[in-house]
Chains A and B, each alone.
Chain A
Amino acid sequence: MKRVPKPVFFIVALLILAFSFTALFGVSYYTGDNKNTVLKGIGDIRWGIDIRGGVEATFKPANNVDATDEQLESAKSIIELRMVSQGITDYELYADKGSDRIIVRFPWKSEDDTQNAVEAIDEISSTAQLTFRPGKSYASTDIGSDGSYVYKTPTGDTETVLMDGSYIEKAEAQYYQADDGTRKYVVSLTFKDSGDKNGKERFGEITTEYVNQTISIWMDDIMLSAPTVNSAITDGKAQIEGDFTAEEASQLAEKINAGALPFQLETSNYGVISATLGENSLLAMGYAAVIAFIIIALIMIVFYRLPGFIAVISLIGQMGLAIAAVSGYFTAIPSFTMTLPGIAGLILSIGMGVDCNVITAERIKEEIKAGRTLDGALDRGTKNSLSAIIDGNMTVIIVSIILMLVFGPSNILSIIFGESTTGTIYSFGYTLLVGVIANFIMGVFFTRIMLRSVAGFKFLRKKWLFGGAKNEK
């Protein structure tokens, strides 16, 4: 048998325990009140919305409009914009071109009520319709968030719609130097100049008809601006002037671009999960993990003695590795959103790790009972159990890769079935895969090194400790 030097056991065991400790609890220090995270632990894991609570919604074009890929992309960027403007920065957003769906998930804190979550969904999906109307009459006013008046509800003249946003190619915020040297911000519009929504032609007609009169520009129910037409505009370009700041101008341009969408978004699915339930689940799963691990450790040590003890160390290492792959401990592996099925995948991979150690220990025991020497039993036991472990783990790897391909970002089946709303199965596949890879590193490689190293200690060279009968030496 190839001997492994005695100190190796202590070095490996200490390294595994130290690594797992930092992977579980993280390393951070405080400068004043600021927490500086050096290594990320369990506390830094990004939990999925099924754990910390959150909102999931799927939007599709209303009235079964068939959106082009470009339109869908621009709808997605508009939703992105609205999320940011609502202060939601930690979100997941997917556009599925195959089935014209946009899926969004974002966390929702427990102190905010679910009512607001539903309003947030509504607001995100309400694709504003940009309209041009004659005159500038309005029925009601509101105070905007910045304290200025917001004019609402078209009435009288403005009930007529001259043109809507679908005639506009794009809107951009621009500025020019005014005569007094200050910067003036404007929103410049470019109209479409072909197709059945020929904005260049239509806008020319409108400005010819309403020359020296006021036309108002509305977003849904709200009047954005009410310029006066100075002369007929036939080149397909127009500018909206007003007392804009740079920010206001670019916001208006974005809103108009949003209004230029040819379809409205409709909420086809939504779900609100309260964080209270999620936090309880998380705590419960934490208890479950600790209790389950203690039981596993007891079973392993009682039944397999020394190899069982080593198995517990390598299982701790396997857990540490799997958690490190999720929390973003290694800077090379980005952190991963952990969901309840993800935790289940982790538990299953630990089960595979237990199996790997049981097979090895059982085989060593068998060889000892067959009357081999300790070294011979260790040698044959580890060698003969390898093929079963590799074959068993490979099949689980196949399952997890299929899950990741089908339900993950690559979505190999999305051509046929479209994007799924439940990304949680992907996280099951991910944690299972990293767990099984960790099992290969810990359960196959390090368990064996530790076993051989430990067998070098004279006082531990008792067959009983490796599973033989009590009186055997």
Chain B
Amino acid sequence: MKNDIQTKANSKMTVEEISNKYNGGKKIIDFVGKKKIFFGISIAVILIGIICNFVFGTRLDIQFSGGATIKFSYTGSIDQEELYSFIQAKTTDKITTSFSKDLMGNSGNNVSVQFSGNDSIETEIQKSLENDLQEKYPDNNFVCLESNSVDPSMGFNFFLKCLTAVAIASVLMVLYVTFRFKKIGGLSAGVMALVALFHDVAMIYFMYVIFQMPIDSSFIAVVLMILGYSLNDTIVIYDRVREERKLVGSKADVGDVFNLSCTKTIKRTIMTSITTLSAIVVVYVVAFVFNISSVQGFALPMMIGIVSGCYSSICIAGPLWVMWQRHKKSQKTVK
């Protein structure tokens, strides 16, 4: 609080003056002043996520961890336990089965068999399993729908490669922001934008943990998409700060300038987020109706990412940037 009083005393312009002069007398929303609430919410969500991470653990998809799954479709009804023990008897690996209903296809029901262990399975096993099932249940039309078998070393390599791609993209984006926003303390803007990005990636990750979704290549694609989307949000606000600062000049406090810029862009932020969000909600609902799990697994984290990306730009990156600028200023005055 002490800091606030000090900056107010130093500045020559009050919030009211800025509001009258630069916002047509309309109220400026005080985003920076509520930073404790915002940080509190984010820290709480992150803590819950970390606790869940310890309780549930993370599941890597076989794309990354290696392993094998085979998905069969069948018609009619089947004793699920009997089917499980029948398949289990055919292999030395421990298996888990999960059953689902295909709402769209003509195939009826699906069963997916996951083999334990992280090794890929031989093509022989798949061939014989399909034959065995067709022999055992001649009336149920067992057909292999999908199969996937990944060698663990390759899967892990792919995972590392994805992480490296994310890291390279992040560094380049921060460099770009640092260069383009020199006027408003480029590096601080870039670093705080990066903090907001980490925030968003954490949110998506925790969503995967809480919903027990395995980390797969669509996780990587979603993370990359949200990195771009959230940074775009942050940049639009920074761009406005850059512009307003030129207009208002250094007479006003950085916090007030940020609040002014944010108030002026809030409509755009909300409109864009609602439009993009509604498009993705449509994709999700359609995928849900047609039971396309791959697209569902893609759209759900995207929705969370868009909300988080919009929130983190206004409530995390901005206030942090203001704190950094104030800190720099107070150091200057001390000297």
Contact = CB atoms under 8 A, between A and B. Distances in A.
30 contacts: A50-B294, A99-B154, A114-B143, A114-B144, A118-B123, A121-B123, A272-B146, A274-B143, A281-B290, A284-B287, A292-B283, A296-B279, A340-B295, A341-B221, A341-B298, A344-B221, A348-B225, A354-B276, A355-B272, A358-B272, A362-B271, A387-B239, A395-B231, A398-B173, A399-B169, A399-B227, A413-B161, A421-B63, A422-B63, A425-B221
A269 B149 contact: yes
A25 interface: no
B181 to A, nearest CB: 8
A282 to B, nearest CB: 10
A88 interface: no
Interface of B: 24, 63, 104-107, 120, 122-123, 126-127, 130-131, 143-151, 154, 157-158, 160-162, 164-165, 168-169, 172-173, 176-177, 180, 217-218, 220-221, 224-225, 227-229, 231-232, 235-236, 238-240, 242-243, 264, 267-268, 271-272, 274-276, 278-280, 282-283, 286-287, 289-290, 292, 294-295, 298, 302
Interface stretch (A3-11, A197-205, A224-232, A400-408): A400-408
A285 B278 contact: no
Nearest to A267: B123
B158 A347 contact: no
Interface string A269-306: 11111101100110111011001110110011001000
B158 A370 contact: no
Interface residues of A, number: 81
Contacts of B268: 355, 358-359, 362
A420 interface: yes
Nearest to B231: A395
Interface in A387-403: 387-388, 391-396, 398-400, 402-403
Given A272-B144, A391-B239, A421 B123 contact: no
Most buried by B among A268, A277, A355, A418: A277
A407 B154 contact: no
A417 B287 contact: no
B24 A113 contact: no
Contacts of A99: 154, 157
Contact of B286 (A271, A291, A296, A402): A291
A271 B232 contact: no
A40 interface: no
Interface string A335-373: 000001100110110111011001100100010011000
A133 interface: no
A115 B148 CA distance: 14
Interface in A111-143: 113-115, 118-119, 121-122
A288 B228 contact: no
B294 A287 contact: no
Given A351-B276, A424-B217, A395 B228 contact: yes
Contacts of B168: 402, 406
Contact of A392 (B126, B144, B224, B236): B236
A348 B229 contact: yes
A388 B235 contact: yes
A422 B145 contact: no
